[in-house]
Each structure stands twice: as C-alpha cells, then as structure tokens.
Amino acid sequence: MSLGARADEVRMRPDEFRLLRDLVNGHSGIYFGDESLPVLERRLRERLSALSLKTFGEYYQFLRFSSLNAAELDEALDLLTTNETYFFREDYQLRALRDEVLPKLAEDNAAKRRLIVWSAGCSTGEEVYTLAILIAESRLFDDWEVRVYGSDISRRCVAAARRGIYGASAFRAVGPEIRRGFFADKADGSHVIDRIRQLCHFGHLNLVDTDKVRVVGRVDVVFCRNVLIYFDQRSRKKVIDMFYERLMPGGYLFLGHSESLLNVSTAFELVHLSEDLVYRKPFFTVPPRVRGGT
Amino acid sequence: VEAKPGGDVTAREIDRDLQSPDPEVRRRATTVIPDLPPDQGADYVVRALGDDDWRVRKEAAQIALLLGPSARLLDRLVELLFPGDNVGLRNAVVETLASFGRSAIPAVTGVIPRLDADGKKLAAEILGRAQDPSALVALERLLDDEDANVRTAAAEAIGDLGSLAVDATSRILLRALEQGDLHMRLAALEGLNRLGVVIPWEKLRPLTGDPILRRSALAAASRTGRTEAADALARALADESPAMFRLALVGLAELVLAAETTLRIQALDARARDRLLEAMAPSAKDEGSRRAALVVAAVLGEPGAVDLAIDALTDDRLSREADAALRIFGSSALPRILARVAHGDATLRAAAIGRLRGLVDRQSEDAVRLALRAAIADLSGEVASAALAALGSLGGPEDIAAVFAVVAAKTPGSLPAARAALAALAKRHPEDARMTAQVARRDQASHIATSVIIGALGGGVLGTVADDVSFLGGALSSPDPETRMTAVEAVAEVGSDLGLDAILFALADEERDIQLSAVRALGRLRSKDGRAVGGDRLVELTRESSDPELVATAARALGATRDARARASLHPLAHSVSPLIAVAAVETLGRLDDPQRIETLLELTGHPHAEVVKAVLLALERVSDPRALAELGAALSHEAWDVRRLAADCLGRFGGDQAGRFLNDKLAVETEPLVREALSRALGAIEAPSTIRRPATIAPPKAEP
C-alpha cells in the first residue's frame, strides 16, 4: 500500500490473506481457498476503516491480540458468512421431509409426542420458518412439543432470524397460499405469524465448538444445507460427528444437494427416499470410526 | 552528599551537610541517614528533627519512622521532652513518638515522673495520639497530677483514646466529670461528647447552669433521649449567642432523630421561631443548621417546612433530615406531596412519590393511588419508575391491568420497575393476575408481562405447569431480548424440569445478558420434587467453557443448586488462575454450609491475586474454626495494604481474645495509616463495650468564636 492510500484502496497481500484465512479456519472451520482472496479483501475492508487500521496485517494482529478480539472476530465472521437465502429453497428435499420423514417420525415418536428439528447454519432464518410451516401444515404434530432450532455463527443473522420480517425476494419460491397463511404483510415487510414463530428458537452457535452445541440437546432431524461446503475436511468431519452425537437413534440428516458424506468416515446410513437421499443415524448405534465410509 | 550504591556514606559527610546554610542540602543529607549504623543514625535524625526548616524536619520525621523505634532513638527522643527552647524540635518529637504507637509508650511513661508540667502535657499528648489502650494507665495517673493543665491534657488524651477502649475511657472520664476541677471536667465532658457516650440527664442538668460547662453539657443533652433535655435545648434556642442557638438546634434535632417516639417540644418564642425559619430557608449557608432546622420545624408543625422538606429530598446533603421531617409530619404532609407529584422537576417528583408509601393512611389511600396511576405513564422514566414501585406495594387488583400494559409497552426507562411492580401485585392478588395473563396469552406483545406473572406465581397461571413452560418456550423465541430475558427468569421460577431444554438453548442466545441469565437460571431450576436439575450442565460448563465470565457466573449458580456434586466442583474452580472465576468460587463456597470449604479456603490464602485473598478472608471470617482465625491473623502481614486492612476488619468481626491479640500486636508495628485506622476500629469492635453511645449524625457544633 502506498502512503496516503484510502481505506477503500487497501489491498490484501497473499501473506496477509493466508494469515487471516487460517485464523478464520481455526475459529470456525470455514476454509477459503486461494481464489477467495478478493472476497476476503472486499468483505473485510470496511473493518479496516472502522478500526482505523492501515493494512490487513494490522487487522490480523488486532484479531489475534486485541482485548476486543472476540467481538471483532464475530464482526469478521458476520461479513464473511452472510449468505442470501429464501423460503422453501430446494423444495425436493422439503417434499421428502414432508411426505416421508415427518410421517415416519410421527409414528416413531408417538409415545413421547415430541419433535425437535435443527437447522444448523440457518442464516437469516428462512429455512427454520420453512421447516416450522411444513410441520404445522402436516397436522401430524398438533399438541406435540415441537421445536425448530436455528443456529448460525453470525450474530447479525441470528438477530435477523429472530425478527422474522422478510422482503419480497425471500418469497421467490413460495406460493400465495403459504404466504397468506403464515405471513402478515406490514409496512416493513412480511412478518412470520406468531403461531409459527413460537415453534422457532434461535441461537448463536459455532458448529466446530462441539462443547457449546450441546445446548441443542437431542434432535430428530438436522438440516445443514450448503454449510459444510465452506469447511475444510477436518472441520467437516468434526461437525458430522457432532451431528451424529446430537441426533436421536433413527434421526435424519439433510445436507445440501451438492454435499455428501463421501470421503467422510461416518456411521450414518444412507436412506433412499423417493425424491432424495438422506442420512440416518441407525437405531442400533455403531461407533462412527469402526465403520467404513458411505 | 548523595546516597551511594554501596551505602558507604560517612557520618562526616552528613555532619557537614546538616550544617549547610542551604535547607535543600540539609534535607538531602537527612534522606541518607538510614545508610549509617543505627545508633549513629538516631543521633543525626534527632538533630535533623530540630532543624529550623520545616521541610528538613518533615523529612527527618519520615526517616525516623523508617529507622523504627530503636531503644537508642527512643531514648534520644524522650530526652527532648525535658525543657528546651526549640519549639519546632519538640513538636517534631511529639509527632515522631506518637507515630511509633505502642512501641513508644514504655519510654514515654518511664520518663513522665521526671518531666516538668510542660513535658507531662507533651507526654499526655503523645500517649493520646499513639492510639494504644496500654497508655490508659499512665494517662489515668496524670489525672491526679498537681498541675491543672496536665490534668486537662490527660483528660483530653483519654478522650482521644476512647474508641479503642470505650468502657475503660468512659469510666475514667465519667469519674473525672464528677470529681475533677472545672477545666478537667470540661475536657472530660468533651471527650465523652466525642465518643458519643450517653450521660444520664440527672448528671448533666446541674452542668447546664455553669457558664463554662453549659455548651458541652447541652451537646451531651442531645443524647439522653429525655423530654427534659429537649426542653432545655428548646430554651437554649432563645440564647443570644448564634453558636449556642446552633448547638441547641442541632442537639434538638439529634434528640428527635434518635427518639423512638415523637418528642414534643414546647412552642418557641417569636425570636427563636424567626431564627428557626431563617435557619431552614434554602438561602441559609450553614448546612448543619438547615438540616437540623427541618427536623425541629417538623416537630413544631411549622407549615412552611413541608414544602422545604420536599424540595430538600433531592439534595444529598439534606435528604435524610428532609425524609425524617416528612415522616414526622405524617399524613398531614400528603396533600402538599401529592400536589408536587404532578408537576415540576422529574427527579423531585420521583423523590416525592418515593415518600408516599410511608405516609399513606386509609383516608388518603384512594387519592394516592389515583396520583400513582397517572404517574406510571409519565414521560419521565424516573417518575414512572417511582410510581410503579409505589403502586407495586400500594396498588390493588384493579391496578394489575394497567401495570401489565406498562410492562408490555417495554418502555426502556421504566421496564425494570414495571416488572417488579407487576410481580409484587401478582403475588398479592394471584387470581386477578392469572385472569389478566389468560386473557392476554395470545397477544405476542404481552408475552413479557405474562412471563412476569408466571415467574412471580411460580407457574399454574395459564393452566398446568406444562402449559406455562410451553408458553415460556414460545416467549423465548421472541425477537425482543427483554421478553426472552424475562422468560428465562420465569422458567427458573417454575418448579418443573420441563423448562431445562429451553434454558439450555438460551445459553446460545446472541445476547450476552441472556446467556448469563440462562446460566443463573440453571442454578435455580428445580424439578417438581425440589431437586436441582441444572447442576450437571453447570458443572459441564465450568469444565468446558473458556469464557471466564460465563464460568464465574456458573460457579455462583452452582451455589444456588444446593447440590453436593455441584458444590464439589467449586473447589477446583476456587484455584483458577482467573481472579474472576476464583473470586466467584470462593464467595460461593463461603456462603455454603460445606464442612470441606475450610480446607480449600486455607489453601487459597497464598493466591497471587489480592482480590482472591480478600474474598478468602471474608469467607474465613464466617468459619468458626481456629485455623481460620490463624489465617486471618497471618493476613495482617500480607504485602498488600488493602488485604491487611480487610484482615483487620475481619478479625474485628470474628472477635475473641486471640483476635484482639493479633490486632494489638499488629498495631504496634503497622505504619500504613489506613491499616492502623482499621486495626483501631477492629479493636473497638472486639471490645463490645457496654457503654451506650449515640454518635452525632448531624454536623458537630462549631467552637464558640
């Protein structure tokens, strides 16, 4: 950087990129390939201005050693992980849930009348509310204890998810009946109705912090779509093992359409549904490392 | 001469520089005296104490303290109490010997018989200022000295020692008051006044007629609690002397404030009344008189005093007496207070509302509630909060809906007060509160208020406990942090383990306060049969989390579980290198009835962080074990002065002969003034005197000009 350069002209050097990339990876498991240098540079540049720093090297030092580093790391992750999403995304998986998985769980859990679903990496909450709407629409769980947990590493995303107010673009894949039935249009956007909102609980969780994620308890279904693609192999394995541990025997794991557990040693069994392939924790548990990959 | 690294400064060099015409050279020479052999140093420091320049004398006094009370130095110093011309030197000697405390007392008392009257007066002053009860014997002997000035000085010095041995000094001073000559009686009376000793009115009454003793006798009269004393003080308000008026006014107010029932005071004559009104006027400059005048005027029922007292409620210097004045006026002050509640400065309105609770009676109840209902929606958070707090205790079932609405509105300035008021009303009127909550259960904006009611009543509000927990689970998904926080707290109050999952997930809330609140809730959460259900998770948290604040909060919450396993996990936490965690664990252990806590606490007295050691001392103070006492005694030698000071206070509260010996021994060698003060205070507390004292609470009377 030349002397007197403006903050919006600051360039990220390759060595600075590697330092920041490794720091983010160590904290969150998210891995940025070398091609992501411009992404990090663009998204983190505003933090340099906010902190009056001159180089990304200084920013790295701030993240490592400042007394405010934990809060700043949250800020950085907010900028690096925010991804736009929408209701009823990848609907073939949702149909699989509605038509095959939920009826099965209604049968399996009839005695305890309890259903817990977790959207891990829920961004601004669209997936969480989608799942809650599907459960409510099914009428299979009326008067059950139903919880849909949503967690994300970004505080801002969690706060936005809690608000439950959405603009038009979030509804690109939603039919008018759903919108009318489960949202209330107001001046500031479409509000999730209280009946659905009350099923949904949001938390700020880092998936690689396997101790802290235990607050989720045992769940029947995990949705973790288009999240693990950002993780390195080691972190992906750690998170998959954690999902295995959090799921009830017979519980289901939904990954994104481009994701699979290929090359990840796991005890999950693959279940062929009519429209999708999902993973299931066997009813009779075999330790994950004993069994080969799926 | 300059201090040399090897400390090899010679006496000749110091000798030369102490003769320099330049005071700065002499002062610098004084600073290196400690480098000399001790005996030689004593001689030179005495020389420097007699220097013409105050800076050199001040430096020498410091050096003398540094050298310590060696026999040689004490001998040299007490020699200087014999007649001499150097006044500065004698003052410096008094200063230095008094600073040596108990160590100087044998040397000073040993020389007294050979001293002249002036020397004995100085000796009495040293003994009084040395602040050690062992000087009392010699001082009592000086009360019988043939010289009146010596006797008076001894009585004054005994008064100075008073707080260290209240019973002994009071006995001696009361004897001196009855038997001594006029000046000694005055000194004794003033000593008793300084100690706040209650002297029977029968003994004082004859003294009030003596022109020399009258002033001090009337000051003492304020502590008697007797109507006759009040009459005497009221008569003194008519005295020509402004100082006597002030003394009588303050004394009368003290008498009124200390009285258990309202004292009656005879009506004042016109002149005294004018002076009273003048004294309580806002323009009056003497704060002590103004404070006293508010109280006395209230007893006399002066109508103008109500508004002045209301005005004074927000003045920190006057608020205590203003409050007392309004209490004396009682319900007759209510119309004026209610008039002030509606308009004017918000802080004053809030303060006025705060006084309503103590004054309301059956006749005024409706008017007060009406005023409070209007004020709970006030734009000023201060006024609204005060009104809510008052309505919480004075309100009826018909107020629940209005307070419920205020909670639901979540106005930032008044929300905490609104929550507390709603909880208080719900506890007093549970059925009405339940009905209000049931009607509003579907309204999302009201979730916070419904949660308050569930928390206050411990469940059973919307149906079964399960229904309440389910409702609170929904409230925990609210986008509003205050609603989630209230819901977490309410879940903890509902006696059911059904809420455990909801609280666990709140640990992942993005709001820090809610995370911490969830941790605390885990400690309080109980199953139907009263079993703590959050203990295991708290133990896990303390083991797994790297967040010191969260672990410290978990440590405190573990204490609330009253669970043996949870308690056991506090012991390793108390050894944490993080002072935040260690202090939390130590404080929690200290409050538990755990027989093993003493072992852990004893291990921690050597913790490198002073704050942890202080927490340990406070915990040990509550343990009735000789090992705890020994550790408290050892802490008097801790390197940090604030630890030593706390150890002294702890020993004072621990009590007993051994604690007294520790304190006395330390008092002999401690040089830090604040620690010495604490040692004296603790010794006074241990003595547990039987003498009745009533220390002055309003500014003490000024000396007559």
Give B506 to chain A, closest Cα distance, Å.
7
Among the partner-chain residues B477, B501, B507, the one whose CB lies closest to the CB of A198 is B477
| Chain A residues touching residue B468 (CB < 8 angstroms) | none
**Cβ separation of A201 and B476 shorter than 8 Å?**
yes
Inter-chain CB pairs, A–B, below 8 Å: 62
Probe site for chain A from B488, B510, B514 (most A CB atoms < 10 A): B510
Q: What 8-state DSSP symbol labels residue B693?
A: B
Q: How many C-beta atoms surround the C-beta of residue A189 within 10 A?
A: 15
Distance CA A294, CA A260 (A): 9
Closest chain A C-alpha to B520 CA, distance in angstroms: 15
Q: What is the pLDDT confidence band of residue A257, given thresholds at 50, 70 and 90? A: confident
β-partners of residue A145 are A114
Picking from B207, B262, B194, B187, the residue whose alpha carbon sits closest to that of residue B230 is B262
Residue B548: list chain A partners with CB under 8 A.
none
Length of chain B: 705
**Is residue B705's pLDDT more than 50?**
no
pLDDT level of residue A293 (50, 70, 90 thresholds): very low
CB nearest A216 (choices: B476, B479, B505): B505
Q: Do A162 and B479 touch (CB under 8 A)?
A: yes
Q: What is the pLDDT of residue A109?
A: 95
CB B573 within 8 A of CB B551: yes
Q: Which residues contact B699 (CB under 8 A, 6 or more apart)?
A: B250, B287, B288, B291
Residues of A with CB under 8 A from a CB of B: 145, 147, 149, 151, 155, 158-159, 162-164, 194, 197-205, 211-212, 214-217
- Residue A52 structure tokens: 């009056």
| DSSP per-residue letters across B237-279 | TT-S-HHHHHHHHHHHHHHHHH-SSPPP-PPPPHHHHHHHHHH
Please tell me the distance from the alpha carbon of residue B349 to that of residue B313, in angstroms, as a whole number: 10
- The pLDDT tens digits of the residues spanning B53-107 come to 989 999 998 899 888 888 999 999 999 898 877 788 888 899 899 988 888 999 9
- Contact (Cβ atoms closer than 8 angstroms) between residue B554 and residue B541: yes
CA torsion, ordered A260, A265, A268, A270, to nearest 10 deg: 50
pLDDT at B691: 66
What average pLDDT does this structure show over B18-43? 90
| Distance of alpha carbon B109 from alpha carbon B279, whole angstroms | 48
Question: Confidence class of residue B316 from pLDDT cuts 50, 70 and 90?
Answer: confident
**Contact status, residue A122 vs residue A202, Cβ threshold 8 Å:** yes
Confidence check: pLDDT of A209 > 50: yes
Q: Render pLDDT for B627-669 as a digit per residue (tens, 0 to 9).
A: 999 999 999 999 999 999 999 999 999 988 899 999 988 987 8
List of chain A residues whose C-beta atoms are within 8 Å of the C-beta of residue B444: 194, 197
Q: Which residue has the tokens 């209000």?
A: B436
Q: Among A147, A155, A215, whose Cβ lies nearest the Cβ of B510?
A: A155
**Closest-CA residue of chain B to A163:** B479
What local confidence, expressed as pLDDT, does residue B692 receive? 72
Contact B510 A158 (CB under 8 A): yes
- Residue of chain B minimizing CA distance to A148: B477
Q: What is the pLDDT of residues B422-433, one digit of tens each?
A: 999 999 999 999
B40 pLDDT higher than 60: yes
Look at B544 and A211 and tell me if their CB atoms are within 8 Å.
Answer: yes
Buried b (16+ CB within 10 A) or exposed e, B270-297: eebbebbbebbeeeeebebbbbbbbbbb
Q: Which residues of B touch A128 (CB under 8 A)?
A: none
Chain A residues whose CB is inside 8 A of the B476 CB are: 201
d(CA B199, CA B197): 6
pLDDT over 70 percentage in chain B: 96
Distance from CA of A141 to the nearest CA of B (A): 15
Q: Which two tokens stand for residue A213?
A: 């994620």
Q: Sorting pLDDT into bands at 50, 70 and 90, what band is A9?
A: confident
Residues of chain A positioned with their CB less than 8 A from the CB of B470: 145
The Cα–Cα gap between B475 and A188 comes to: 22
Band the pLDDT of B161: cuts 50, 70, 90.
confident
Task: Give the pLDDT score at B554.
Answer: 95
DSSP codes of every residue in B527-555: -TTS-BSSHHHHHHHHHH---HHHHHHHH
Q: For tokens 């205590």, what's the residue?
A: B320
Q: Is residue B307 scored above 80 in pLDDT? A: yes
Highest mean pLDDT among A30-39, B280-289, B380-389: B380-389
Closest to A166 measured CA to CA, from A138, A185, A152, A181: A185
Residue B255 near residue B292 (C-beta atoms within 8 A): no
Residue-wise pLDDT tens digits, B564-577: 877 788 889 999 99
Our CA-based measurement puts residue A256 at a distance from the nearest CA of chain B, in whole angstroms, of 24
> Would you place residue A105 in the very low, low, confident or very high pLDDT band (cuts 50, 70, 90)?
very high
Whether the per-residue pLDDT at A86 is higher than 80: the answer is yes
Candidates A199, A200, A215; nearest CB to B507: A215
The answer to whether B444 contacts A194, with C-beta atoms less than 8 Å apart, is yes
Choose, out of A194, A209, A213, the residue to mutate when testing the contact with B (most B CBs < 10 Å).
Answer: A194
C-alpha closest to that of A205 among B508, B547, B501: B508
Minimal Cα–Cα distance from B248 to chain A, Å?
60
Q: Rounded to an integer, what is the distance from CA B262 to the centroid of its chain? A: 27
Q: Where does the pLDDT of residue A68 fall: very low under 50, low under 70, confident under 90, or very high at 90 and above?
A: confident
Distance between CA atoms of residues B322 and B192, nearest Å: 29
Residues 6+ apart with CB under 8 A from A229: A256, A258, A259
Output DSSP code: residue A120.
E
* Of residues B610, B686, B626, the one with CA closest to residue B650: B686
The partner residue sitting opposite A212, judged by closest CB among B478, B506, B508, is B508
Confidence of residue A101 (pLDDT cuts 50, 70, 90): very high
* Residue A6 pLDDT level (bands cut at 50, 70, 90): low
Instruction: Quote the minimal CA–CA distance from B422 to chain A in Å.
Output: 24
Chain B residue numbers touching A78 (CB-CB < 8 A): none
Q: Which residue of A has its CA nearest to B519?
A: A215
For residue B591, what are the contacts with CB-CB under 8 A and spacing of at least 6?
B559, B619
Task: Count CA within 13 A, CB hemisphere, residue B209.
Answer: 4
Distance from C-alpha of B201 to C-alpha of B227, rounded to nearest angstrom: 10
What's the CA gap between B678 and B652, in Å, rounded?
9
> Which of B169-183, B512-526, B654-668: highest mean pLDDT?
B512-526
Determine contact, residues A204/A152, Cβ cutoff 8 Å.
Answer: yes
Evaluate if residue B512 carries a pLDDT over 60: yes
CA–CA gap between residue B519 and residue B560 (Å, rounded):
11
pLDDT confidence of residue A7? 56
A217–B504 CB contact, under 8 Å: yes
* Beta-bridge mates of residue B178: none
pLDDT in tens, B574-609: 999 999 999 999 999 888 877 778 888 998 898 989
Runs of H (alpha helix) within B621-671:
626-634, 641-654, 657-669
Mean pLDDT of B340-367: 90
Contact A216 B442 (CB under 8 A): no
What mean pLDDT do residues B512-530 have?
Answer: 92
Mean residue pLDDT of chain B comes to 89
Mean pLDDT in residue range B500-511: 91
Chain B interface mutation, best of A202, A205, A209, highest count of B Cβ atoms under 10 Å: A202
How close is the nearest chain A Cα to the Cα of B544, in Å?
A: 7
Q: Has residue A287 got a pLDDT over 60?
A: no
- The pLDDT, as a whole number, for residue B217 is 94
**B181, pLDDT greater than 90:** no
Q: Is residue A203 within 8 Å of B505, Cβ to Cβ? A: yes
Instruction: Give me chain A's average pLDDT, please.
Output: 88
**A223 in helix, strand or coil?**
strand
- Dmax (CA) for chain A in angstroms is 70
Phi, psi (degrees; rounded to nearest 5) at B192:
-65, -35
Supply the DSSP symbol for A222.
E
Question: Quick check: A197 and B470 CB within 8 A?
Answer: no
Q: Judge whether residue B624 has pLDDT over 90.
A: no
pLDDT at A290 over 50: no
| Over residues A101-128, mean pLDDT | 95
Bridge partners (DSSP) of residue A190 are A166, A185
Q: How far apart, in whole angstroms, are the C-alpha atoms of residue B449 and residue B478?
A: 13
Residue B196 has pLDDT above 70, yes or no: yes
For residue A157, what pLDDT is reported? 92
Q: Which residue has the tokens 């690109």?
A: A172
Contact state of A216 with B470 under an 8 Å Cβ cutoff: no
The encoded tokens of residue A177 equal 């009946």
What pLDDT is recorded for position B2? 52
- Cα A31 → chain centroid: 15
In one letter, which amino acid is B279?
A: A
Question: How confident is the model at residue A291, as a pLDDT?
Answer: 43
A chain contacts of residue B509, beta-carbon cutoff 8 Å: 203-204
A214 vs B contacts (CB less than 8 Å): 504, 540
**Helix or strand run (H / E) with residue A147:** strand A145-152
The minimum CA-CA distance between B473 and chain A, rounded to whole Å, is 7
| Rounded Cα gap, residues B352 and B615, in angstroms | 39
Q: How far apart are CA B233 and CA B562, in angstroms?
A: 57
Q: What is the pLDDT of residue B703?
A: 42
Q: Show which residues of A are catalytic.
A: 43, 152
Q: Phi and psi at residue B380, in whole multiples of 5°?
A: -80, 125
Ranges A158-162, A165-169, B112-116, B673-677: which has the least confidence: B673-677
Residues of chain A in contact with residue B477, where contact means CB-CB under 8 angstroms, are 162, 197-202
Cα angle: B334, vertex B338, B343; to 5 degrees: 150
Q: Spell out the residues 6+ positions from residue B106 whose beta carbon is closer than 8 angstroms to its own.
A: none
Residue B8, pLDDT > 80, answer: no
